[in-house]
């Protein structure tokens, strides 16, 4: 029988619409030629999608490596089509009843495949997903609870952007379904801009119902700062490094005392490679939210292999750089705001007098700001400059507030709200605006969350977050004065734009939104570990429903509330409460033995 005709018949039994489409598409995407083994292989733009020697053997090796990770109850979603040797090999290795899906982004490519490769005997047990990537993500989440994505890179690379869109859509849909609670340890820096972000992350995770252990290193800042009294530069750096290493060991001790499901570090957290390697040996998953410009702060290059997951505030070049440096998982995660803190407010007359101004800027004295901001002085409006690192301010001395003191978060919210036009110029060590400016700073989200109007320098990633109906965006420094003049004379328009920007933050740009996205990505990448917990499979009710083959566990699980997560340690604690004289059955003794093994933690340090 003709291969195509046979395959269309197989597809018609599953999906009549797909079968009809295959007969209508022209094909021609794949260049098909015989491999050395005699089996067909395929090329796209002169690049092989399968081995030119033995595509069947190559596919078997690929499948043998991937099937080791596949767990019972997972739905396997394969990215990459080509001639489907890899799909056939994996399908034949998986249990007969395990659900397997293949995302087909190009019907022409699929038509080329089914013209030369038979689906008989295995293709009947594969779900072929076609259509828009957004619709396919919804379809997968509706049919699957735990998803494991496997990518056959030679074929998947041909449709990289399409598959990336699918991953992001699937991540976001899965994130909306999360019901389980993790134990997450958040490790913050000693000081710096990521410290308040770490606190917002803690609040967001707790608000989502997770158990959070907050390793706060900021109390050590005074001691760290005191090391500046060491005059010898090299000696001072050595001692500062040793102190950071000690704080890393302290973080590891916290992990040993109460092992979390995930360690989430923020930029500048004092976790060394040695500490991260020890966590990896103990099977503790780690993630870093790098909320810095990767071009300016490059210490990530020495740390990139240490974390299981990286989340970054820039795209394109940043993602490529991290992947090339060896990052196993790296995802774009923009910054956000904390609406319970960054919110509209009213003022006393005294506060209005201190913080109010027509125009204000709050931030550190970077070179480009020292160059741009003096143009705002002497323009017939009131201008106030807030923030630190403004030594030798020059023309800005007359407008610098509080002698250039560091401004805390509550005060910054007052400044934002009391200012008619807030200036938001992203930091840059050169002149003018950063020509490679992409990532959006936290100030943009915080001003918007306060319902405060802002003029911001354009960033390539900004339009996807806010549009020009929400804030004034300028492309060049020489547009600043005219833009400020325009909006100072249009208060109603300012207010409407600021209200729109606040609405946008509440809809999509809070730290709760970001933590849902982060955990969705982590859960999707580790469906058998964090994914299972996040999907509620560790709840007492779920465990009870799956205890049919181990009825001796049922009495132990029934003592816990159905909706509560239950771990080995919880069951062991309940057994120990029976007291040292209690007679324990075989299963209880086994659980205590496993818990003792779990508690062997001294070699963490």
On the question of pLDDT at 599 being above 70, the answer is: no
Q: pLDDT > 90: what percent of the chain? A: 77
Q: What pLDDT does residue 578 have?
A: 85
Domain enclosing residue 228, as ranges: 183-334
Per DSSP, the residues of 481-511 read: HHHHHHHHT-HHHHHHHHHHHHHHHHHH-BH
- Secondary structure element (H or E) that encloses residue 448, with its range: helix 442-449
Q: What pLDDT does residue 483 have?
A: 98
List alpha helices for 144-191, DSSP H. Answer: 153-156, 160-176
Enter the DSSP assignment of 120: T
Query: Which residues, 6+ apart, have CB-to-CB distance to 245 below 8 Å?
Result: 270, 272, 274
- Dihedral of CA atoms 255, 258, 262, 264 in degrees, nearest 10, equals -50
Q: Do 102 and 188 have their domain in common?
A: no
Q: Which of 575, 580, 577, 601 is nearest to 590 (CA)?
A: 575
Q: Do 501 and 375 have their domain in common?
A: yes
Q: Do 15 and 157 have their domain in common?
A: yes
On the question of pLDDT at 602 being above 80, the answer is: no
Q: What pLDDT does residue 319 have?
A: 96
Q: What pLDDT does residue 566 have?
A: 79
Q: Do 162 and 54 have their domain in common?
A: yes
Neighbour count for residue 71 (Cβ, 10 Å): 14
On the question of pLDDT at 438 being above 60, the answer is: yes
Which strand ranges, in their side-by-side order, compose the sheet holding 31-34?
31-34, 40-44, 47-48
Q: What pLDDT does residue 585 have?
A: 85
Within a domain: 88: yes
**Whole-number Å distance between alpha carbons of 429 and 370:** 10
Per DSSP, the residues of 124-151 read: GG-EEE-S-HHHHHHHHHHH-SSEEEEE
Within a domain: 523: no
Q: Do 85 and 18 have their domain in common?
A: yes
Q: What pLDDT does residue 201 have?
A: 97
Within a domain: 187: yes
Q: Which of 140, 79, 137, 81 is nearest to 107 (CA)?
A: 81
Average predicted confidence (pLDDT) for the chain: 92
**Whole-number Å distance between alpha carbons of 280 and 125:** 37
Which range of 16-30, 219-233, 456-470 scores highest in mean pLDDT? It is 456-470
Q: Do 156 and 273 have their domain in common?
A: no
How far CA 407 is from CA of 160, 194, 403, 410, 411, in Å, comes to 44, 15, 11, 8, 6
Q: Which of 211, 207, 202 is nearest to 182 (CA)?
A: 211
End-to-end CA distance of the chain: 66
Q: Dump pLDDT digits (tens) for 38-77.
A: 999 999 999 999 999 999 999 999 999 999 989 888 999 9
Tally of domains within the chain: 4
Q: Do 166 and 218 have their domain in common?
A: no
556 burial (CB, 10 Å; 0-12 / 13-18 / 19+) is buried
pTM: 0.84
On the question of pLDDT at 166 being above 70, the answer is: yes
On the question of pLDDT at 137 being above 80, the answer is: yes
Q: Do 241 and 149 have their domain in common?
A: no
Q: Do 322 and 405 have their domain in common?
A: no
The count of C-alpha atoms lying within 13 angstroms of the C-alpha of 247, restricted to the half-sphere facing its C-beta, is 24
* Helix, strand, or coil (residue 84): coil
Q: Dump pLDDT digits (tens) for 179-213.
A: 778 899 999 999 988 999 999 999 999 999 999 99
Q: Do 568 and 479 have their domain in common?
A: no
Cα angle 547-553-554, degrees, rounded to a multiple of 5: 70
Section 451-470 average pLDDT: 97
Per DSSP, the residues of 256-297 read: HHS--SEEEEETT----HHHHHHHHHTT-EEEEEE-S-TTT-
Cβ contact 409:385 at 8 Å = no
On the question of pLDDT at 331 being above 70, the answer is: yes
How far CA 46 is from CA of 43, 57, 110, 471, in Å, comes to 6, 21, 18, 47
Q: Which of 232, 95, 90, 102 is nearest to 155 (CA)?
A: 102
Residue ending a domain, among 155, 176, 197, is 176
Q: What pLDDT does residue 604 have?
A: 59
Range name among 60-64, 231-235, 601-605 with the lowest pLDDT average: 601-605
- Residues forming beta bridges with residue 400, ordered by sequence position: 385
Q: What pLDDT does residue 577 have?
A: 86
Within a domain: 519: no
Q: Which of 394, 438, 440, 443 is nearest to 422 (CA)?
A: 443
Section 7-27 average pLDDT: 93
Section 84-88 average pLDDT: 97
Section 514-541 average pLDDT: 83
């Amino acid at each position: 029988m003709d291969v195509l005709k046979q395959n269309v018949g197989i597809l018609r039994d599953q999906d009549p619409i797909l079968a009809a489409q295959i007969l209508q598409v022209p094909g021609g995407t794949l260049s098909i030629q015989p491999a050395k083994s005699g089996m067909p292989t395929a090329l796209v733009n002169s690049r092989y999608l399968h081995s030119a020697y033995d595509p069947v053997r190559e596919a078997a090796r690929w499948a043998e490596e991937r099937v080791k990770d596949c767990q019972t109850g997972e739905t396997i979603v394969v990215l990459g089509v080509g001639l489907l040797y890899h799909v056939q090999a994996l399908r034949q290795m998986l249990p007969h009843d395990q659900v397997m899906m293949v995302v087909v982004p190009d019907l022409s490519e699929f038509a080329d495949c089914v013209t030369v490769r038979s689906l008989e005997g295995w293709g009947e047990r594969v779900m072929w997903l076609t259509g828009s990537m957004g619709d396919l993500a919804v379809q997968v989440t509706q049919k699957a609870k735990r998803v494991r994505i496997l990518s056959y890179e030679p074929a998947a690379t041909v449709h990289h952007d399409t598959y990336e869109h699918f991953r992001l859509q699937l991540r976001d849909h899965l994130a909306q379904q999360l019901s389980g609670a993790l134990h997450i340890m958040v490790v913050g820096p000693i000081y710096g801009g990521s410290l308040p972000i770490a606190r917002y992350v803690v609040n967001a995770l707790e608000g989502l119902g997770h158990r959070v252990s907050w390793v706060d290193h900021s109390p050590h800042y005074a001691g760290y700062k005191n090391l500046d009294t060491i005059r010898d530069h090299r000696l001072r750096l050595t001692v500062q490094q040793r102190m950071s290493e000690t704080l890393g060991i302290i973080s590891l001790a916290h992990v040993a005392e109460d092992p979390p499901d995930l360690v989430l570090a923020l930029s500048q957290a004092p976790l060394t490679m040695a500490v991260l390697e020890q966590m990896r040996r103990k099977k503790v998953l780690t993630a870093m939210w790098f909320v810095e410009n990767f071009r300016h702060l490059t210490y990530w290059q020495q740390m990139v292999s240490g974390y299981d997951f990286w989340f970054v505030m820039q795209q394109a070049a940043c993602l490529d750089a991290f992947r090339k440096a060896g990052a196993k998982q790296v995802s774009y995660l923009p910054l956000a705001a904390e609406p319970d803190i960054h919110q509209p407010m009213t003022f006393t007359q005294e506060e209005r007098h201190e913080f109010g101004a027509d125009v204000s800027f709050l931030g550190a004295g970077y070179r480009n700001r020292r160059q741009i901001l003096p143009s705002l002085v002497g323009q017939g409006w009131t201008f106030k400059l807030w923030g630190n690192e403004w030594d030798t301010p020059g023309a800005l001395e007359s407008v610098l507030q509080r002698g250039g003191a560091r401004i805390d978060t509550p005060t910054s919210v007052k400044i934002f709200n009391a200012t008619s036009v807030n200036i938001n110029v992203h930091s840059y060590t050169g002149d003018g605006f950063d020509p490679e400016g992409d990532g959006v700073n936290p100030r943009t989200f915080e001003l918007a969350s306060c319902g405060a109007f802002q003029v911001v320098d354009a960033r390539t990633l900004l339009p996807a977050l806010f549009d020009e109906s929400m804030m004034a965006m300028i492309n060049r420094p020489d547009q600043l004065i005219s833009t400020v003049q325009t909006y100072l004379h249009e208060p109603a328009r300012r207010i409407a734009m600021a209200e729109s920007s606040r609405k946008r933050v509440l809809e999509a740009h809070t730290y709760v939104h970001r933590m849902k996205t982060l955990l969705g990505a982590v859960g999707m990448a580790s469906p058998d570990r964090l994914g299972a917990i996040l999907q509620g499979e560790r709840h007492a009710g779920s465990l009870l429903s799956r205890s049919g083959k181990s009825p001796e566990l049922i009495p132990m699980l029934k003592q816990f509330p159905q909706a509560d997560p239950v771990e080995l340690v919880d069951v062991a604690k309940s057994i120990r409460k029976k007291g040292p004289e209690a007679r324990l059955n075989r299963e209880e003794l086994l659980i205590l033995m496993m818990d003792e093994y779990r508690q062997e933690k001294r070699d963490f340090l």
